[in-house]
Amino acid sequence: MRVTIALSTASTSTVVQTQYHHHERIRFLTYE
């Protein structure tokens, strides 16, 4: 599942990624 999130994160724009960086980081830690 972490692969799907990784691809989704890479697809998102830099601005969006920066805003959701903290939220996505929590997901990464949860799935990892």
Residue 9: how many CB atoms within 10 A of its CB?
A: 16
When divided into structural domains, the chain yields a total of 1
**C-alpha radius of gyration, the chain, whole number:** 9
CA 1 – CA 16 distance, rounded (Å): 21
Report pTM: 0.19
**pLDDT given at position 21:** 54
The domain in which residue 25 lies consists of: 2-31
1-32 pLDDT per residue, tens: 566 666 666 555 555 555 555 556 656 666 55
**pLDDT given at position 17:** 53
